[in-house]
Chains A and B, each alone.
Chain A
Amino acid sequence: MFAPLFCKKMRLPSLTLMRKLLIISLLIISTAIPSFAEHHKDNTSSASTNQAESATAHQTDHNHSSTHEKFDPGRIILEHILDAHSWHLAGHASIPLPVILHTDKGFEIFSSGKFEHGHATVKGKYYNYRLKDERVIAVDEQGNELPEVTASIKDFSITKNVLALFISIVLLLAIFIPVANRYKKEPSRAPSGFQSLLEPIILFIQDNIAIPNIGKKKYEKYMPFLLTVFFFILINNLLGLIPFFPGGANVTGNISITFTLAAIVLIIVMITANKHYWQHILAMPGVPKPVLLILTPVEILGFFIRPFVLMMRLFANITAGHIVILSFISLIFVFYYTWGTVAGFGISVFSMLLVIFMSLLELLVAFLQAYVFTLLSAIYFGSAIEDSHHDDSHH
């Protein structure tokens, strides 16, 4: 949807024809996937809301009589892509994670294992807590929710996503610091080993993203952020594709994560933007006053829309990919529960082929979305520090 806009913005003449074609086709794919996936998601989420309601209704009597569970793909998929207070490994095994709550009376820390997957009430220092839809709520002795207390709780828990986030940070540091030390030790030697895998990517970000979009004079200031954000997104996308611990967490497909990244981009733009950029937003020079009344709100809206798009694009692409893969896997169980074992096995062949295909596509998307986020950030930074005389030429 935004592809043509950014295509125009990108300085294509400097790229070769092959690269041009590649980038255009990638952008088309990147916009096609979320639209397809969003369509899919609409189905599942609308289904899931119905099912979630029935599921919550179910859950209450499910607690009393633990009879056979009905397979609910919408709920299962959402459980997989959402954050959780424990890290499910396999079967009934899961890693309990620390729950850190800030209530109006103070901090509470306990293990999420005490919730027993939402079946048990935890007696804390100040209140009693239960887990409802992966959200910690405060309850009284009888198990009824205390809404005012719940509203005051700030949940700082080390959730699945937070742990995955920490793992990715540790991984990034463990990868890049030794590589950097090699550079420090032998700066003019040809790269070797892991270094030779990373160097072309670093150079690509420098020569094909930062320099053409920010400019040769000022790009260096932005390089650390662009590199960090690229590799952060990339490693989390890739870890998200691994179906088991320590991968499998949907970090870059979580709106909180993309929200934070986009917010940081916005803050950097606000700090580094020059007078000319602000002038263009608040009062476009050379535009009559009455027109400004319309134009300025639009520009201000645009100021927030750009990071908003960054946030949504990454979130939607990664989440959609996970949903599609999980849907294909769920298909096996849907067939199994509906038509029996033979149907389940039959469809599993078809499903697995699709899952493999989607996983390969997701591998591409993992790189692509890291690239797109970095590229759009660089274009955004570039526009914020553009000189006025430069700007006049294409307005």
Chain B
Amino acid sequence: MGAKLLTPDFGLVFWMTLGFLILFFLLSKFAWKPILSALKEREKSIEESLRQAEKARAEMSQLVAKNEELLNQAKEERNEILREAREAAEKIKADIVARAQKEAEEKLKQAMREIEIQKMAAIVEVKNTAGMMALDIAEKIIRKELKGHAEHVEYINQLAKEAKLN
């Protein structure tokens, strides 16, 4: 009986070969093939999903970068507009000031001219008055002293003539 333990039995080997081959073919066709292909499929789909997620992430980061860029651009534009506005305001201010200055100058000049004219008129009047007064005084003096001295009268007339010319 001990020897039987180590001796392959013909009938059992026969049934085992038959049974195992049938099992092998049935399992290969109906179990392993769909299972292994499904596992492979799943692995592939997981890989694909991962790749897509990676791609989406890259796109996302790209989008974020783009947004930032846009934001920066907008900021810059705003700054530009502000700067321009300030400049314009400055310019307007300067213009107004300049115009006011010019006007003031003009006014000043006109005033000066007026003053000059008035001054001239005043001077002329002062001269006339002073002349008349001097003439009066001289007339009085001369009448008192030179009564009868024809030549003096002549000279005085000549002088009066000269004084009038001024």
A residues 160-179 in Cβ contact with B at 8 Å: 161-162, 165-166, 169, 172-173, 176-177, 179
Determine the distance from Cα of A179 to Cα of B33 in the docked complex, in whole angstroms. Answer: 12
Q: From A323, which residue of chain B is reached at the shortest CB distance? A: B5
Stretch at the interface among A250-258, A372-380, A387-395: A250-258
* Chain A contacts for B12, CB-based, 8 A: 83, 159, 161-162, 254, 256-257
Asked whether A184 lies within 8 Å of B20 as measured between CB atoms, the reply is: no
Stretch at the interface among A21-29, A224-232, A357-365: A224-232
**From B1, B11, B31, contact of A78 by CB (8 A):** B1
Stretch at the interface among B34-42, B53-61, B87-95: B34-42
A139 to chain B: closest CB distance in Å? 19
Asked whether A256 lies within 8 Å of B23 as measured between CB atoms, the reply is: no
Determine the distance from Cα of A81 to Cα of B39 in the docked complex, in whole angstroms. Answer: 39
Determine the distance from Cα of A260 to Cα of B9 in the docked complex, in whole angstroms. Answer: 10
| Contact-residue size bin, chain B (C-beta under 8 Å from the other chain) | 35 or more
User: Closest 10 CB pairs between A and B?
Assistant: A183-B38, A256-B12, A176-B31, A187-B38, A224-B28, A180-B31, A260-B16, A256-B8, A259-B8, A224-B32
**From A156, A183, A199, A220, contact of B34 by CB (8 A):** A183
A136 to chain B: closest CB distance in Å? 10
* Chain A contacts for B2, CB-based, 8 A: 45, 48-49, 52, 78
Known: A48-B2, A228-B27. 12 other contacts (CB 8 A): A49-B1, A83-B9, A162-B19, A173-B23, A176-B35, A179-B31, A184-B38, A188-B42, A224-B24, A227-B32, A228-B24, A257-B12
* Chain B contacts for A188, CB-based, 8 A: 38, 41-42, 45
Determine the distance from Cα of A35 to Cα of B8 in the docked complex, in whole angstroms. Answer: 22
Determine the distance from Cα of A339 to Cα of B38 in the docked complex, in whole angstroms. Answer: 63
**Could you tell me the dominant secondary structure of chain A's interface residues?**
helix
The 7 listed contacts between A and B (C-beta, < 8 Å) are A156-B14, A162-B16, A183-B38, A184-B34, A188-B45, A259-B8, A261-B20
Determine the distance from Cα of A183 to Cα of B13 in the docked complex, in whole angstroms. Answer: 34
Asked whether B27 lies within 8 Å of A176 as measured between CB atoms, the reply is: yes
Determine the distance from Cα of A232 to Cα of B38 in the docked complex, in whole angstroms. Answer: 22
Asked whether A165 lies within 8 Å of B24 as measured between CB atoms, the reply is: no
Does B155 make an interface contact (CB < 8 A)?
A: no
Given contacts A45-B5, A156-B11, A257-B12, contact A228 B28 (CB under 8 A): yes
Does B101 make an interface contact (CB < 8 A)?
A: no
